[in-house]
Chains A and B, each alone.
Chain A
């Protein structure tokens, strides 16, 4: 738990952790006009930073939100596109979406019940979009595609149109596009094409420069918002030309050797002189609050590495979407998808491939590293990002290159590893853990993350859809990635501070106590006479000083949870381990020696003369009991001085400890036991307390002993304040959030959740059976659901109930 306040590297899985693996049609640009009113998480984050208020368009209440379609623009929906400046292009756009794909429809042929089976969720999202725009693709036969088109001829009219699919030029990673040649019922021959902007733009017909320029701007805009873009284009075909091409195509298709390559070549012949329609933007739906969370974590000085099995492009895309990489950063890409490597791979000689790969990786690493060093030396150079794929990583993890990889990656503010195997995930984790000796944290949701979760210092499992393996292998399980901020910045930080303080306090109190005994030894002829009674000594740690430190370990917080999250930089104190350095230990040791000197010498030398008006003299046990009283008081008060938040539990435990000492000594000194015990301290406390010396000393000695610490704390706070102290000062006028602290969990609640929370807070009739056996959250929600009240069962919900239960009387008062 100490580690969780000092995490410096987070290794995160992508799918299911950062993203929901859910593609949604989000925006589009048709004929140079941008449609779609949604705002992505990133834009929200940017706006929050720059302080611009975003006008969130209220969604029409009746918009059916469908899986894969998160688009709302009245200009296009329900046939409104007919009134747009160029409805023909719109029509082409929608038809392209509805025709150019390899999706299979399943189920009933009605818009509500149909489901689309697609190779990639993007395609399904596009077809769903077409459906929502009124071009409902409902049936596919080997040669035909059936689309139910609305509003084409005139508003409100629906007609079923069948398109004959003549050729499908499929998608692959080299072509990065997909085309379909289709024949309209009226005989029109069209090629619809969609693909990456780079490949489509190369193949556009000349002219219409404005459209291209505007669309390119839109593409960049979408890209920087973290959206995945596709360009759509079409081309009207001349039947003769098509026939000639089709012969070649059939030849290529039926060739026995190098078929793929030949098909690609043939496709090139027809996929040219395209006319740009527009582009689509699909949101790879991130988990809620992920970019904000990542931004917060990086401000906290935590570096996030994404380790994913996905393709390079997808990984980079997500890195953009999560704000891990932006255009201001210098990117180093070490990929095996280069021409040189591909060439060797085609030859297929595994030994040769390995050799070349190793050479290439070595070369790449070296150049990247040198370049990185240049940037490192310049003061305001751009931040660095490293993208590396699994194949290269295999060689880069080789012992000879490992050091360079580590140095390079530690200088990068974000690292993305794609196409990595579960084993490699673990290797990368332990590379940092062992090589850089930093605290690492792994987070993932699937079985493929288990190795990585176990390799890191702290493993976190997300209990998601991918089963429980990750959760079972993890140290902590959370529900969503964004709760990482709470886990690390709030609880991690607190636990770090608490553990540091508890450890230092234990060290201090025992040193102080033991040193008084040590000084006494010098005055007993080194005979080993103990200063304190046996029982005092034994119970010092057990009773007289044990409870306050527990209270501190439980309740200490320097700044509240909200402020911890508002100033994530405070977390850096943990990463730098500022509260547990040798310097801190030395300061504590110094002051505990000082205190022990004061405690011993002040008591010993002031007890020399006669006491009270009767002039009687103290013995050794009077003095030692006096000294022990002072030690107990001093050590307990010192605890209050080091606490940043003092709750009533602190008062109870500190007061209780001192009181416990007096109660103990009153009883202990008041009885004679039948067993053999030297009655050294018999009646001592009563004798002591009958003297004025006792009271004068009891006030003086703890004050003098704590004086040094007091001055040190004052000077330290004034001249070299810690960050948390400044934050405390900034917010010194704000009320203590002990009460509202409970509500903090709710600050990201949806309206329904907020409502149910509000309901939970309402006064309700307490039945007299609250203590019955089924009084557990699970049963509670079961009965609630029987009554028709929706009570979501979430992790924080349980936690909140638990915290409410500790104050069961609250609802009565309201």
Chain B
């Protein structure tokens, strides 16, 4: 992958149309550390130890923080019609939302247009255990419905990243969009500014105490918006990945219910309130408010 650094940050909050290019400052793209790396230093490796056995498949996620994929201007900056229909010329209304990433420098239509596609994540990871590299399966990482209905099997990328400012990854223009699973995953925009996206699968068991070497190509610029990137390896059970929240919530609520049940039972035993005791009626408790005309 070409590590050509994007000239603008990936965060839509600072994305501006060409004409409104930000003035040069210390925080401008050209000054940021990632841009200053030469192509050698962009590739580095990390090691980690597998704490316990991980059964195949092991899922690889990348996690971004402080990336507002749910920003209003970002979310709408796409054309679903263009993504699924071949030869879509672009009607005015639906293409309006794709600006500023609509036309390439030679005024031809970009496919896929819009900021979401433009900012496609482009870090790559390579895994190896004990010197033996692990195969990363990047098939079937997107929801089947997206592949089937939302991204056309006869729509091919065109003029993509062919503008002055290059966002993220480039796409192979000979592969139809429905097969570009990285793009499909990326374009299902996340709910929160901290999110995970599925990168691929290692279809091989990882044994406990294995040392895994990860070779990372650090292409994606997160320095511009003070974001962080993380890599997550996870397995799933039949319900899904690790999700302690729901489990904890179930147990906590169950516990509180039990506690309240016990305390209400105690209350009922210790200080019962007789049901339907007329002396609790407000006009019986407070005789002065009674107004009986007949004595």
Contacts and interface: CB of A to CB of B under 8 A. Distances in A.
Interface of A: 45-46, 49, 294-295, 298-299, 301, 323-324, 326, 328, 379, 383, 413-414, 523-525, 527-530, 567, 569, 572, 602, 604-620, 622-624, 672, 676, 678-679, 682-683, 686-687, 691-693, 696-697, 700, 703-704, 707, 711, 714, 718-719, 721, 723, 726-732
A714 B278 CA distance: 19
A155 B290 CA distance: 57
A290 to B, nearest CB: 13
Given A609-B242, A723-B281, A523 B293 contact: no
A604 B191 contact: yes
Contacts of A711: 260
Given A609-B242, A613-B237, A696-B246, A572 B283 contact: yes
Contacts of A723: 281-283
Interface stretch (B31-39, B67-75, B154-162, B164-172): B67-75
Interface in B272-295: 273, 275-278, 280-283, 288-295
A624 B76 CA distance: 16
Contact of A614 (B94, B140, B149, B281): B140
A413 B291 CA distance: 8
B189 interface: yes
Interface string B226-254: 00000000101111111101100110010
Interface in B248-268: 249-250, 253, 256-257, 260, 264, 267
A692 B70 CA distance: 25
Contact of B295 (A328, A676, A700): A328
Contacts of B93: 676
A306 to B, nearest CB: 13
Given A301-B289, A617-B61, A707-B257, 4 more contacts: A326-B294, A528-B72, A683-B143, A726-B277
B285 to A, nearest CB: 10
A609 B276 contact: no
Given A46-B294, A326-B293, A687-B145, A617 B189 contact: no
B294 A323 contact: yes
Interface of B: 13, 57, 59, 61, 68-73, 75-76, 78, 80-81, 91, 93-94, 97, 140-143, 145-146, 149-150, 185, 188-193, 195-198, 201, 234, 236-243, 245-246, 249-250, 253, 256-257, 260, 264, 267, 273, 275-278, 280-283, 288-295
Q: Name the residue in B91, B150, B246, B267 with the highest tally of chain A Cβ atoms < 10 Å from its Cβ.
A: B246
Contacts of B290: 299, 569
A617 B293 contact: no
A323 B293 contact: yes
B191 A729 contact: no
Contacts of B69: 620
Contacts of B141: 616
Most A CB contacts (10 A, CB to CB) among B237, B267, B283, B289 go to B283
B234 A609 contact: yes
B293 A616 contact: no
B282 A624 contact: no
B233 to A, nearest CB: 11
A676 B277 CA distance: 65
Would you list the 9 A-B pairs with minimal beta carbon distance, nearest first? Answer: A729-B276, A610-B241, A619-B188, A609-B241, A730-B276, A615-B59, A529-B72, A527-B72, A683-B145
Taking each of B150, B190, B281, which has the highest tally of chain A beta carbons within 10 Å of its own beta carbon? Answer: B281
Given A605-B245, A678-B80, A707 B293 contact: no
A168 to B, nearest CB: 42
Contacts of B68: 524-525, 527
A730 B81 CA distance: 65
B120 to A, nearest CB: 15
A606 B246 contact: yes
B185 to A, nearest CB: 7
Nearest to A620: B191
A462 B109 CA distance: 79
Given A569-B283, A723-B281, A730-B276, A612 B142 contact: no
Contacts of A606: 243, 245-246, 249
B240 A611 contact: yes
Contacts of A721: 280
B255 to A, nearest CB: 12
22 contacts: A298-B293, A323-B293, A528-B72, A567-B281, A606-B245, A606-B249, A608-B196, A608-B243, A609-B243, A613-B240, A615-B59, A616-B143, A617-B190, A618-B191, A619-B190, A620-B189, A678-B76, A693-B240, A703-B253, A726-B278, A727-B281, A729-B277
A619 B191 contact: yes
A146 to B, nearest CB: 47
A623 B242 CA distance: 17
A295 B290 CA distance: 12
Contacts of A301: 289, 291
B94 A676 contact: yes
> Which interface residue of B75, B198, B237, B291 has the most chain A CB atoms within 10 A?
B291
Contact of A707 (B94, B201, B253, B277): B253
Contacts of A617: 61, 185, 188, 190, 195-198
Contacts of B292: 295, 298-299
A255 to B, nearest CB: 50
A65 B106 CA distance: 110
Nearest to B13: A525
A693 B243 contact: yes
B136 to A, nearest CB: 14
A610 B61 CA distance: 9
B275 A732 contact: yes
Max count, chain A CB within 10 A of own CB: residue among B97, B142, B198? B198
A726 B280 contact: yes
Task: From B70, B76, B257, B280, name the one whose CB has the most chain A CB atoms within 10 angstroms.
Answer: B70
B236 A614 contact: yes
Contacts of A696: 239, 246, 250
A678 B78 CA distance: 9
B234 A676 contact: no
A523 B193 contact: yes
A529 B70 contact: yes
Given A523-B193, A613-B240, A697-B246, A729 B275 contact: yes
B267 A718 contact: yes
Most chain A beta-carbon contacts within 10 A, residue among B69, B193, B292: B292
Contacts of A672: 149
A324 B276 contact: no
Given A607-B191, A683-B149, A697-B246, A730 B278 contact: yes
A612 B238 contact: yes
B189 A324 contact: no
A413 B295 CA distance: 14
Given A326-B294, A529-B71, A606-B245, A613 B145 contact: no
Contacts of A324: 293
B249 A704 contact: yes
